Amino acid sequence: MTVTVRDHSGAFDIYMGAGMMAFFGDAGRHETSAVRASLTMQKQMAEPSANWMGEGQELHLFRIRINTGELTLGNLGAKYLWAYTVIGAEVNKAPLTKTLSLPATS
């Protein structure tokens, strides 16, 4: 998935448990790049998911959330610990939308 992010002009930021965060910073085109990357990821997961189900394994759900807004991007941190990352209110909102992307229950 990190290669897919890069291939769509994005930058991988961090793994968070079984998830990851990436950002797309091309001014004026970042939304399009993020959506195209997510569509590619969905296609990439279709075959492995079908194989796992065919083998009787548990279905691994794959969800994507896209958030857009103003943020701060750069080398952030302190003298001994820093990272090229993003911060800001919009970044903080992204995890809060997780409940909106949960699968429907029967």
25 falls within a domain: yes
At residue 90 the predicted structure's pLDDT band, cuts being 50, 70 and 90, is confident
pLDDT value at position 1? 86
Burial class (CB in 10 A: 0-12, 13-18, 19+), 5: buried
Is 30 a residue whose pLDDT tops 90?
no
106 falls within a domain: no
The Cα–Cα gap between 21 and 45 comes to 17
60 falls within a domain: yes
Q: Which domain holds residue 58?
A: 2-101
- Coil, helix or strand for 62? coil
pLDDT value at position 102? 64
43 falls within a domain: yes
Over pLDDT 70: what percentage of the chain? 90
Q: What's the total number of domains in the chain? A: 1
22 falls within a domain: yes
44 falls within a domain: yes
